[in-house]
Structure 1
Amino acid sequence: MPAEIFNPNPVIFSAPKSAGRLSDLSAHSLWVNDPSLSEDDEADETEPIDQDEIYDLIRSIYDPEHPNTLEELRVVSAPQVTVGTNRITVEFTPTVPHCGMSTLIGLCIRVRLLRSLPERFKVDIFLKPGSHQSENAVNKQLNDKERVAAALENPTLLDTVEQCLANAGARGGHL
């Protein structure tokens, strides 16, 4: 975890009681390698993915500075996710305008979505306009394929990303 704390006392919000559609997901999967789907089903139809499903994937990512999820800190919310035909855009809000962890948070969101979504999706990650003092620089870094690849080659940075994603598989719940 980082040595310098950018926001030592973040506001923590409680998660909504029924935040997401986890019961709907168990009945009908939309992931590429689902063993319940036959080869013919995959070839004939492409399942749509919606805003709530993307939000379920990213809301349980842990903040790099605090033992709280991005949902609890209101860094991400369902309305900040836009889903197009083959494009997903996530806008997130850092807890403070000078947050030095914004790039790392965006990288965690990108890695979680790239690991979870079919390859046909292009993912764009942006800071909420006006929410960060280095908004343009962070947005440029988060959406540059070469910069993202270089960041993920750094073992220390990759280890931090893995720690933030450790419980992301809970899909909105804590383990």
Structure 2
Amino acid sequence: LIRSINDPEHPLTLEELNVVEQMRVKVNDAESTVSVEFTPTIPHCSMATLIGLSIKVKLLRSLPERFKLDVHITPGTHASEHAVNKQLADKERVAAALENSHLLEVVNQCLSARS
């Protein structure tokens, strides 16, 4: 589901940049949980929150509502890891971000198929 998400800065997918890897995705169908760790390309990546938001939106749009999502940065791979993880875990902040039409447009570009 998430391997084909486009990077906001590079003409490559998150999988091609090794931002997302299958081994860092955990699905527990019985407990209805999905956990995704993503690794920004550099420790000071300014797009980390946008990448995490794109992953979360893709999962929200694709999975049944019963699933609880946990999208977070791979520990030790980003300078602002705790702040970004806190934002991504806050349902109200995620909802508010998606009400921003410009931000939603950028997320949708990340999720659209490349031509």
- State the AA in 2 paired with 1:107: L
Counterparts in 2 of 1:65-84, with a 5 A limit?
A: 65-84=9-28
TM-score by length of 1: 0.63
Please state how far the C-alpha of 1:147 moved relative to its aligned partner: 0.4
The equivalent residue for 1:130 is 76
Please name the residue that 1:161 is paired with: 107
Gap runs ≥5 in structure 2: none
SS in 2 for 1:58: coil
1:72 is matched by which residue type in structure 2?
E
Please give the secondary structure, in 1, of the residue aligned with 2:71.
Answer: strand
Tell me which residue corresponds to 2:87.
Answer: 141
What's the counterpart of residue 113 of structure 1?
A: 59
Greater percentage in strand: 2
Find the aligned partners of 1:166 and 1:135 in 2 and give their Cα distance. Answer: 26
Q: Which amino acid in structure 1 is aligned with residue 106 of structure 2? A: T
Q: Distance in 1 between matches of 2:11 and 2:69?
A: 26
Rounded to whole Å, the distance in 1 between the matches of 2:99 and 2:11 is 25
**Alignment partners' CA distance in 2, 1:68 and 1:83:** 25
Give me the whole-angstrom Cα distance separating, in 2, the residues matched to 1:114 and 1:100.
Answer: 23
What CA distance in whole angstroms lies between the structure 2 residues aligned with 1:107 and 1:101? 10
Match of 1:23 in 2: none
The counterpart of 2:35, out of the listed 79, 89, 92, is: 89
TM-score if structure 2 supplies the norm length? 0.96
**Alpha-carbon distance, 1:83 to partner:** 1.1
Give the number of equivalent residue pairs. Answer: 113
In structure 2, the partner of 1:14 is none
Structure 1 counterpart of 2:8, one-letter code: P
**Higher CA-based Rg:** 1
What runs of 5+ residues in structure 1 fail to find an aligned partner?
1-56, 168-173
Question: Which residue is equivalent to 2:2?
Answer: 58
Instruction: Describe how 1:4-19 pairs up with structure 2 within 5 A.
Output: none
Q: Identity, % of aligned pairs? A: 66
Letter in 1 for 2:105: D
